Amino acid sequence: MFLEEKTAIVTGASRGIGKAIAVALAREGATVVINDLSQEAAEAAAAEIRANNGRAIAMAADVADSAQVETMVTRVMEECGRIDILVNNAGITRDTLLLRMKEEDWDAVLNVNLKGVFNCTKAVSRFMIKQRSGVIVNIASVVAVMGNIGQANYAAAKAGILGFTKAVARELASRGIRVNAVAPGYIQTDMTEKIPEEIKAKLIESIPLGFIGQPEDVAEAVLFLVSPAARYITGQTLHVNGGMVMV
């Protein structure tokens, strides 16, 4: 349990990839702060972790709102005394073709998926700098490098995360803080459940390993990046996509 006595914040952690990451971090001993828009959803996920002898705290906050993020991070420091890990996972989609995309669809996705990463990273980095230690992992997407029809807003936000990761990794490296990204491919979640079966079949054909990944596949990649085994890795993107895109 290499994360014993560590505190981790995982945004958007009540379900899917975020929940799998929170469960994996708790399994290794971390006290995990489960963030979600809904306090009820966050508490349900935290309760599951506690039922399995893990340590978890539920905290609702809209990552797109800097004031809410500051309040959450202040609470974490008051209750836990330190923040060792931040996983920026919260994300939404508002998919439609560019010519049909409303300005509010663009703004909503950029505000949560990219501005949310900025808000949370800025808020926790002040404390990590004082500690002279910390690890930040940003969840991007395969569409950041390959693009996708109907997801101009989502692809732009996730590509922005890759650039943000590199810039912040350079800024914080001298303070002992590592910043990396994980770019999942097609993962079995509520989001991908909406994809019609015939399109899923075509997607699987485009994946050399021949199957859609599970949230746990992403969680294990995050677990590696926050572990001592990755102590010499920063500013990098780990692609977890079954070979769909090789960069």
Question: Hey, which residues are catalytic here?
Answer: 154
Tokens of 79: 């209750």
- Sheet containing 55-60: which strands, arranged edge to edge? 55-60, 31-36, 7-10, 85-88, 134-139, 177-184, 237-240
Task: Count other Cβ atoms within 10 Å, centred on residue 161.
Answer: 24
Which residue is it, tokens 């395969």?
A: 142
Task: Count other Cβ atoms within 10 Å, centred on residue 46.
Answer: 24
H helix or E strand, kind and range, residue 152: helix 152-172
CA 165 to chain CA centroid, Å, is 12
